[in-house]
Structures are given as structure tokens and as C-alpha cells.
Amino acid sequence: MTKSDTAAIKEIRSAELRAERLSAALRALIFLVLLAVFGSTTVDHDHTVYSALSLSLYGLVTVGALVLAWRRLFHPALAYGLVTVDVILVATHLILLVRVLAAPHAMAYAVPAAGLIYLVLVHAALRFRPGLVLYAAALFVLVLEGSRLIVPDVVPVELAHGDPSHRPFLYQHALPLAIIALTAIALWAVGTETRRMLARAIQQARRAANLSYFFSPALAERLAAAPPTGTTGDRRPVAILFVDMRGFSLLGRTLPPDALAELLTEFREVVTPVVFELGGAVDKFIGDGALIVFGSMEQRPDDAARAIQCGHRILDAVSSWSEHRQRAGQPAVRVGIGGHYGEVFVGVLGRNGQLEFTVIGDAVNMAERIERVTRETGCDFLVSEPLLHAAGEDGGSKGWNPVDIGSLPGHGGRVQLFASSVPNPEAAERLAS
């Protein structure tokens, strides 16, 4: 059983608990109707005693059901037990009623109180267990028709000739039973579809919630609405940003745990809206770092340009956040960003109800290594030449300064990097040397 299925079962169980309160209220209504019918019957008959006993027992069950419902005590087996009591007592009361009225057995389906049969079926359908409706209908037929076989009709001749329902077999047997059967089938179909739709809605909501960690809400909803395909992925070119917080190790040693947790939470709250607004995806947060991808699930011609724009806007957002922190007497915050463009494996991997968005490839490692170079050069934002080219820019574009570092640490190959700005004289001196 998957976690999505488990979530659906829990939600359905919660719906059943809510329905039990309504069921208890309906059972009380049924009891009041039976009580009114019994009270209005003035015929003096031996069956009146048995009818009173069955009504009293039904009243006790009603009180018990109300107590259980309001104390939220529920088990699936209890639903079958209560429905069994409902059916037997209502059917018994109908049988005794026609005996009290000295009417033929067929009148059990025709007296006004016979409407309680259908109320009990609807009552059973409230529990989101379609099989319970079929069980209740079958039990009604078993009890009502079984009593006909056990105790034959004893009807005055004049009543037998005067009651049209007593003459044809169609009115006595087939039609009442057919109506009960069709009602039960209709309620079973509605209950089955409702349960299926509820489970599907819960699974889709769970998928959307998982995907919302990575994608913008609109894209997450579209991906969640698509049929689940299991483990899938392909290779494609994407723009990648790796964002890392400066001096976090020192902050981690000096800040209390609560303040440190609040810092990381705020960092995510600053970065994520910028990424989503520009149509990117947050692959993951790694401590004080974030891996951001453009073109992973929806590729656009300007993925690289939007990634560069995202980098600039993250720097602006972090700068505003840092100023706010300083005004509040908290340490300033600064980040470094490395950007690259290249082919990676992209996939939404999912099993057992869990989904994980993944990008794997050398281009990811390149972006992380470029971000490390920002620490050595003092530049806040470094991008590779492939990312600039993919964005329609080059090394001569305004606002980009070439950074000659030779080979990229940990990579071995020569990579031309460009800095979006030179933040301080010390960094400028390092770049010039």
C-alpha cells in the first residue's frame, strides 16, 4: 500500500467519523418516526407488545450510537453492526405493524413507515462504504421475505379483495423488491464513484504538495494532474544556478540553534519566490545552499537568460533581507552564485507515493565549482561562457567582466568565467593579478 493510498484511507476514515454523527442524528429521526407511528396505532393486539419491545431496543441503540459518534469512537465493523440492528429492528417493526393492523404481509412495503427502508439505505451510504448499502438491502429482503415464509398471512376476506396490492404477484413481491434493489444499486454506484474520486483527489493533492517544493504552484498543479508515470527522465540542456550563503560556518558556531533555524528558513523564503516567479525549479536546498534549475520540466528559449536574471534578483533580494537583519541587530547575510549551462539527466522519480525531482550530470557539478570560485575572487555572481552564450550574450556584453582562473578546481578543464560585478577593491585587485 502506497503512502498516497494510506492518506486516502485516512481521509475517508475521517469522513466516516464525520458521517457517523450525521448517521446518529438520522437514526434518532428514524426512532422518532417509528415512535410516532407506534403512538398513533390504537389497535389493541398482542403484537403491540412485541412492537413496543423492538421500538425500545431501537431507542437504546440510538442512544448508544449518539454517544459513540460524539465521542468519536468508530470502527468499520461497528458500521456493519449498527446497520444490522437498524435493518432488523425497522423490518421487525414493519412486520409487527402490519400484524397489528391485520393487513396482508405485502402492506409492509406500502405503509407510510415503509419509507424508513430507503432512509436506512441512504443512512448506510453515508459511511462511504458501498458494500454496506448492498448488505443492508439484502438483509432487508431476507428479514421481510423470510417472515412471510415463517408466518403466513392471516387476512380478513373483505380486506384481501379490497386491497389491489394483495392480488397480483407483481405488486406483492416483484415491484417492492425491485425498487429496493434498484435503490441499493444506485446508492452503491454513487458511493463507489465518490470513494474513487476522493482517493484520486487526495493522491493528486499529495503529488501537488510534493511538487510544490520544486516548482511554481501553477506548474506543480499541471504536473500533479498528469497521470503518474513512475520513474521517468531524459537528458536535456538546462541552465543551473548554485547559491551558497557566505560565512555560514561562522554563523553556525555563534548563533543559537533557534536563530540558526530561523536564518535558514528565511533564506529559503527569500530565494524560492524569485525562482518560481521566473519559472525556475528549486532542485533542492542543501543546508545553506540551493540548487536552481531552468528548463528542467518546461523548456523555453530564454531559460539561460531567465537564470541570469534570477541570479541578479536573488542578489537584490538577499541584499534587502540583509539590510533588514542589520536594522534588527542581526548579522548581515551575503551569498555567492555560480551559473552554468549544459546537458543533465532530468527526472521526477516516484515510488510508494513519494516524488523526488532530480537533476544529475557534470553541468551540476560545474555550477557548484563555479560558485566556489566566487569565494576566492570575491565576486557575488560568476557564470560560465556557455551560460552567457545560451542567454544570447558574450564576454563583451556590458556588465560582465572576464575572470581568468585557468582550470576550474576539481574539474581539470579550462573554463572561461565572467563576473557580473566587482564588489570591492580587494576583489578587483585579485581579479587584476
Chain segment 324-347, per-residue pLDDT in tens: 989 988 888 999 999 999 999 887
Residue 286's φ and ψ, nearest 5 degrees, are -120, 90
Instruction: Check residues 137 and 254 and name the one with the higher pLDDT.
Output: 137
Q: Are strands 335-351 and 381-384 parallel, antiparallel or unpaired?
A: parallel
Q: 222 and 204: one domain?
A: no
**Average pLDDT value for residue range 341-367:** 77
Q: 274 and 200: one domain?
A: no
Q: Which of 168, 188, 209 is the last residue of a domain?
A: 209
Q: Which residues contact 386 (CB under 8 A, 6 or more apart)?
A: 340, 341, 342
Q: 189 and 266: one domain?
A: no
Report d(CA 66, CA 25) in Å as an integer: 7
Over residues 293-317, the pLDDT tens digits come to 998 877 889 999 999 999 999 999 9
Q: Mapping DSSP to helix (H, G, I), strand (E, B) and coil, where does residue 69 land?
A: helix
Q: Which residues contact 117 (CB under 8 A, 6 or more apart)?
A: 90, 91, 94, 109, 140, 180
Q: 194 and 289: one domain?
A: no
Band of the pLDDT at 240, cuts 50, 70, 90? very high
Q: Which residues contact 199 (CB under 8 A, 6 or more apart)?
A: 5, 8, 12
Lowest mean pLDDT among 41-45, 194-198, 340-344, 346-350: 41-45
Grid cell at residue 40: 398513533
| pTM value surpassing 0.75 | no
Report d(CA 385, CA 204) in Å as an integer: 41
Grid cell at residue 124: 448506510
Lowest mean pLDDT among 133-142, 161-170, 341-350, 421-430: 421-430
Report d(CA 140, CA 186) in Å as an integer: 16
- How many helices (H) and strands (E) would you count in the chain? 15, 8
Q: Which of 209, 228, 263 is the last residue of a domain?
A: 209
- Confidence at residue 340, expressed as pLDDT on a 0 to 100 scale: 94
Which amino acid does the sequence have at 261? Answer: A
Report d(CA 395, CA 380) in Å as an integer: 17
Q: 399 and 356: one domain?
A: yes
- Confidence at residue 274, expressed as pLDDT on a 0 to 100 scale: 92
Q: 189 and 332: one domain?
A: no
Identify the sign of the CA torsion 165, 143, 180, 113.
positive
Lowest mean pLDDT among 84-93, 162-171, 318-327, 418-427: 162-171
Q: What total of structural domains would you count in the chain?
A: 2
Q: 230 and 342: one domain?
A: yes
- Confidence at residue 156, expressed as pLDDT on a 0 to 100 scale: 47
Q: Mapping DSSP to helix (H, G, I), strand (E, B) and coil, where does residue 101 land?
A: coil
Which stretch, 24-38, 174-188, 318-332, has highest mean pLDDT?
318-332
Q: Residue 84: pLDDT above 60? A: yes
**Average pLDDT value for residue range 61-78:** 69
Q: Residue 238: pLDDT above 90? A: yes
Q: Which residues contact 119 (CB under 8 A, 6 or more apart)?
A: 26, 29, 30
Report the share of the chain in percent with pLDDT over 90. Answer: 15
Contact 132, 188 (CB under 8 A): no
**Average pLDDT value for residue range 209-227:** 56
Report d(CA 285, CA 311) in Å as an integer: 16
Q: Residue 110: pLDDT above 80? A: no
Contact 282, 274 (CB under 8 A): no
Q: Which of 142, 177, 209 is the last residue of a domain?
A: 209
Q: 228 and 79: one domain?
A: no
Domain that holds residue 345: 217-432
Instruction: Check residues 215 and 284 and name the one with the higher pLDDT.
Output: 284
- Confidence at residue 115, expressed as pLDDT on a 0 to 100 scale: 79
Q: 237 and 186: one domain?
A: no
Q: 37 and 169: one domain?
A: yes
Q: 185 and 240: one domain?
A: no
Report d(CA 167, CA 20) in Å as an integer: 41
Q: Which residues contact 17 (CB under 8 A, 6 or more apart)?
A: 72, 74
CATH code, domain carrying 264: 3.30.70.1230
Report d(CA 114, CA 145) in Å as an integer: 14
Grid cell at residue 86: 437498524
Q: 99 and 226: one domain?
A: no
Q: Which residue in this structure is represented by grid cell 531567465?
A: 306
Residue 378: which region, alpha, beta or left (left: phi > 0; alpha: psi -120 to 50)? left
Among residues 421, 412, 238, 253, which one has the least CA distance to residue 336? 421
